[in-house]
Structure formats: structure tokens, C-alpha cells
Amino acid sequence: MKRSLVLLFLLLYTAVALFTQTTEDKLYLILDSFLSQEQRIELVQKGQLIRSLYDQKDAVPRFTPPFAVPQTFGESWDKGNPLFLIEALYLRKKDSGSEKDVEGISQVLRSVSKLEGLQYYSSSRKKMRTLYEVSHIIADPNNEKPLPDPLDNPAADFSVYVLQKDLTFGKNIYRYRFCTDADSAGFISTNINTLKYSVFKAIEPEELQASVAVTDLGDYMLIHALTRAQFTAPSILRKRVQNSFKTRGEAVYGWFVRQYSNVSGGIHEAE
């Protein structure tokens, strides 16, 4: 009898503790499940964690949130250790309250045509440049006719072809895989053809993957961005290619924040 009362008390105490947890308590509980204490503190204070690896062993993601979509993207690279990896985790607080809005997030990420005209800062030229001159859905690699963004596709996991022209690699075709679940939405892109830097072959087909996965925690968002690549470009050009990937990732992250803020009321840096 006494043991039953003790167990009942513990259950009630746990229930009350969970109910009375602050928003920050719940956030820290999630972050501590996959980050070290030092990483969690840095993420909360600075709003971001970023790591870049070149030609190192065990170049695998370390900041992948424990939710289905980012986990799917984090585990999708199955070609061994990539030559280059850049990983970023951002924490943003929502202005629009604690209601989850995975559908709104998914709609923004599927709007690939709105990437056209996106600007980024070129570290080599020390000025802003256009990242994507062209960005639109196509039916297949042999038909470049623009198609509407897949905003109304009800599937939780589907792929499309996207034609994109940028100032680094020129005009190329990518496969975009869109995934959505109850907590997260995102896309992962893979190059279909060989990417060239100037007159040099830089990346073979299927050797570049870039993903963005946004997890809605209610009051906060976690945005996990990952780029992995194998280079074939001459060594003298590799630094520029690496810098290009970094600035491209930052530009796409900023694009999502702006686009989502336009339709939702806004998100801002974590405090």
C-alpha cells in the first residue's frame, strides 16, 4: 500500500513538473537531448552553431535535431566520407505564438521559384551578387519548360526536378526531395549533371547534396542546414568553391526567414 502511494505521488509530481515547465525549460530539454551543454549554451546565446570540415575523417552531421525530417536528410548521404561538409543549426523565436505551423513552413520551402533573384555576399569579390538567376520546377531533365511550384501536393515525401542557374556553376538541373511530418518540413537537393566551375569540372553527378530542415517547436524554430560534396576541381579553386557553399547556405537560410516572416508575422533571433 505504501509503495503504491509513493508511486502515485511520483507520477503526480512528474505530471505537475511537466505541466509547470516554462517554454525555456521545454526548449532546453529538447536541445540537451542531442547537443552538449556547451553547444546548447552557444546556440541559445548566439542563435547558431556552424561547423565546416574539409578533407577530414568522420565528416558526419553532429547537430541533427531528433525529428524525422532532419534525421532523414542527415542519414541520406551514403557514399562514404565527403570531402567537404558544412553544417549549421539556427534557433529562432517565433513572433506569432506557440501554434505549430508546419504547413506554412512547407509552403515556403516548396516555393523554389521565389529563389530567383536571391542575393548573397561574395567573399571573393567583396560585394553582393545574385545567387539564383533562374529557379523553377521542370517536368524532367529533357524539358526545361517552367512548371508551378508544388504547393498543393498532398504527399509527405516526393521529388521534383528543378532548373537553377547561378553565377558559380551556371545552369544545372537538381533533384529536390520534399519531406513533411507533424513537426518538420524541408527539402534536400542533389545535382543531376556535372557541375562546372569556369572551364573545370567541379562536382560529378549525385556528389552534391544540400538540405534545409525546419522543425517547429511551438514558440521556437530549429533550422538545420547541411551541405556535403565531393570535389574534382583543381586544388587552387577549392577554397573558392568552399566559400561559395558557405555563402549559398547562409543566403538560403536568410531567404527562408524573410519569406516565412512575410506570411506568418515574423520570427526573430533567440534570446
Domain locations in the chain as residue ranges: 1-31, 36-269
pLDDT digits (tens, 9 = 90+) for 219-270: 999 999 999 998 876 666 677 777 778 888 899 999 999 999 887 766 665 5
Residue 265: the pLDDT is 63
- Round to whole Å and give the CA distance between 99 and 119: 31
Q: What is the pLDDT of residues 52-100, one digit of tens each?
A: 998 888 899 999 999 999 999 998 877 788 989 999 999 999 887 778 9
Percent of the chain with pLDDT over 70: 86
**With 80 as the cut, is the pLDDT of residue 11 above it?**
no
Reported confidence tier of residue 201, pLDDT bands at 50, 70, 90: confident
Residue range 165-169: average pLDDT? Answer: 88
| pLDDT at residue number 12 | 45
Distances (CA, A) of 146 to 98, 109, 119, 149, 177: 37, 18, 22, 9, 18
Residue 248: the pLDDT is 84
Mean pLDDT of 202-220: 94
Query: Which residue would you say has higher pLDDT here, 168 or 74?
Result: 74
| Per-residue pLDDT band at 6 (split at 50, 70, 90) | very low
Give the mean model confidence (pLDDT) for residues 170-197: 96
Q: Given this model, what pLDDT does residue 17 score?
A: 42
| CATH code of the region 36-269 | 3.30.530.20
pLDDT, averaged across the chain:
87
pLDDT over 90, % of the chain: 60
| pTM confidence score | 0.87
**21: how many CB neighbours lie within 10 A of its CB?**
13
Tens digit of each residue's pLDDT (9 = 90 or more) over 96-115? 777 899 999 999 999 999 99
Q: How confident is the model at residue 234, as a pLDDT?
A: 66
HSE (CB half, 13 Å, CA atoms) of 132? 19
CB 99 within 8 A of CB 86: no
- pLDDT confidence tier of residue 126, bands split at 50, 70 and 90: confident
